[in-house]
Amino acid sequence: MDGQAVPTVDDDGPGIPEADRERVFDRFVRLDDARDRDDGGSGLGLAIVADIARAHGGTAAVEGGSRFVVRLPELKTS
């Protein structure tokens, strides 16, 4: 795909509101107030994904509310 690797993950949940689609990649963000660290994680997973993507010259985003897309430049091999 135009020199990019594009892994995607589709979530079958209710989706992420448009206003939160950037914020969800920040550290310690959990959109569901009912979750706590014992039941719902620390809010670091998507932040780590975004950091790794950026470190490799790529991006991480939410598209359509429930699709997570990582775009990475393809490796050039000789």
Q: Which residues pair with 71 in a beta bridge?
A: 59
Q: What is the C-alpha to C-alpha distance for residues 48 and 21, in angstroms, rounded to an integer?
A: 15
Q: Does domain 4-73 have CATH number 3.30.530.20?
A: no
Q: What is the C-alpha to C-alpha distance for residues 40 and 51, in angstroms, rounded to an integer?
A: 21
pLDDT in tens, 47-66: 999 999 999 999 999 999 89
Using alpha carbons only, give the angle 49, 5, 28 rounded to the nearest 5 degrees. Answer: 10
- Percentage of residues in the chain with pLDDT exceeding 70? 87
Average pLDDT over residues 15-41: 80
Which helix (H) or strand (E) segment holds residue 5: the answer is: strand 4-5
CB count, 10 Å around CB of 2? 7
Quick one: pLDDT at residue 63? 95
What are the extents of the domains in the chain? 4-73
Quick one: pLDDT at residue 71? 97
Quick one: pLDDT at residue 76? 77
